[in-house]
Amino acid sequence: MPGFKAVALIAASAVGLATSAAAQQTAPEAKTLYRPPNAVTVLPAEKSENLRFLDLDLNYVMQLWAGDFDNHEQLQFDADAGKKTLESGAHLRVHSAIRKVDLPAFGKNVLYLEEYKNNDPTSIFRQRIYVLEKDETEKAIKVTMHFLKDRKKWLGAHNDAKILNGIKIKDTQVLAGCEVYLRRDVDAFQGGMKTKTCIFGEEGKKGYSDYQVRLEPTKYWFRDRIMDFATDKPREQVADFTWHQLERARMFACMVDFPKTPGKPMMTTDKYIVMHDQGGTYFFNHPDGRPMVLTLRNNWSYGMYRETLVTVVQEGDESGPTLAYGWSAPGADRIGINPTWMRVQCDLDTPDNRKFQQDLRSDS
C-alpha cells in the first residue's frame, strides 16, 4: 500500500484567503404562515410546492452533510495511475468531520466543519461554521460560511460540542459573495459559489474563489481553485480542478491485545481505540520493540470488482511490509485478526459495543 508524501497544498484554503470584513448578521428564520382556527391558507400552487420541497431539501442536506468523510481510497487510485504527488496530479488527502450543532444565534440549521490533511489531525485544512437556509429566490439551499477568527480556540468541537459554548457571531467573519448554493440532483445535491462574487485582493490584483460541493448519501465531494479576476484563468488549483472524492466513514471501536507472555496464547488488552474505516490508522510499538501501524479501510478489490473491508498491520508505516491482514464484507460491523503475536477486534462504535468490549476479560 503506497504511502502518501505530504506536500504543501497550493489551494488549501481557496475560500479562506479572502479576509475582507463583511456584515455579520444572524441568519434569518424562515417565515411561517399563520392559520386561524378552521381557516385554510391558499397559496399559488408553484410557490406552495417550492416552499414544501425546499423545506424537505434543507432537512435532507443537514442529514447528508453530517458525518466523517475521507478520500483515502482516491489516493490509492491516484497512485495506481502514477500520480503520487500534487505536482504529478494527485489529490490531497483530506479528512472531514462535520457535525450538527445547536447555535441559535447563528440560525436554525448549523453545521460545524473541521478538516485536516495528509492524515494528520493537527494539520487543519478548513474550519468553518456553516449556516444553512432555504433561498426561495434561488430555489436552492443557501450556505453561509462563517470563518473563525481564532481558529485554535474552537478546535476539536467536532468531538466535543461544548467547546463551542459561548461562541458569538462576532467571533466569526462572513465574506459577502462567498455563499454556496446547493440544488437537488435526484438523490444528491450539487452547487457552489456564484461566478466572480467571492472576491479578494487589491485593485489590479483581484482574484476570486471558485468552490463547489456535491453531496450524496455516502459521499462528500468538493473542488476549489483561485481564479484571476481580470483573465478568469486559474492562479492556484489542485489536480486540475477535479473532485476530491471523500467517502462517508464509519467509526469503529477497537481492542488491541498483546500476549501476556511472548509465544503464549493468553492475551491482554493494551489499548482501546477508535478509528474510521476509510483509511484510519493507529501507530504503536509492539512489545518486541518494532514500530507498527494498524489500518482500517474499505479497499477496492480489482479482482472481485467490489469494496472489501480490510484491516492490516504493517511494519513502520503504510508503506512498510504487511505483517497481518484480515477482511470482511464492506458493510460488516465487526472485523478482527489474530496472528498469535497480537490480536485486534474492531466493532462498529456504539455505546453497546463499547460496553461489550469493556465487559470482556482483559486477559483471555
Supply the pLDDT for residue 217: 96
Instruction: Indicate the class that CATH gives domain 46-248.
Output: mainly beta
DSSP result, 187-206: TEEEEEEPTTTSEES-TTS-
113 vs 150: CA distance, rounded Å: 15
Supply the pLDDT for residue 41: 42
DSSP 8-state code for residue 28:
P
DSSP 8-state code for residue 119:
T
Radius of gyration of the chain (CA): 23
What type of residue is 342?
M
Supply the pLDDT for residue 351: 94
Q: How far is CA 228 from CA 24, 99, 173, in A?
A: 27, 33, 23
Supply the pLDDT for residue 1: 43
| Fold: same for 46-248 and 250-359 | no
122 Cα distance to chain centroid: 15
Tell me the mean pLDDT per 10 residues along the chain, length 364. Answer: 34 37 36 39 48 90 97 95 95 98 97 96 95 96 97 95 96 96 96 96 92 97 96 95 97 94 82 96 95 93 84 96 94 94 95 90 62
12 vs 68: CA distance, rounded Å: 19
- Work out whether the CA dihedral 221, 223, 224, 230 comes out positive or negative: negative
306 vs 124: CA distance, rounded Å: 32
pTM value? 0.83
| Close Cβ partners of 318 (under 8 Å, ≥ 6 residues apart) | 1, 2, 3, 4, 281, 293, 295
| Close Cβ partners of 298 (under 8 Å, ≥ 6 residues apart) | 73, 247, 277, 278, 307, 308, 309, 310, 330
Is residue 14 within 8 Å of 209, Cβ to Cβ? Answer: yes
Domain 250-359: assigned CATH number: 2.60.320
Kindly state the cell numbers that stand for 152. Answer: 485554535
Q: For the chain, what are the domain ranges?
A: 46-248, 250-359
- The residues with which 268 forms a beta bridge, in sequence order, are 258, 363
Supply the pLDDT for residue 265: 76
Supply the pLDDT for residue 33: 36
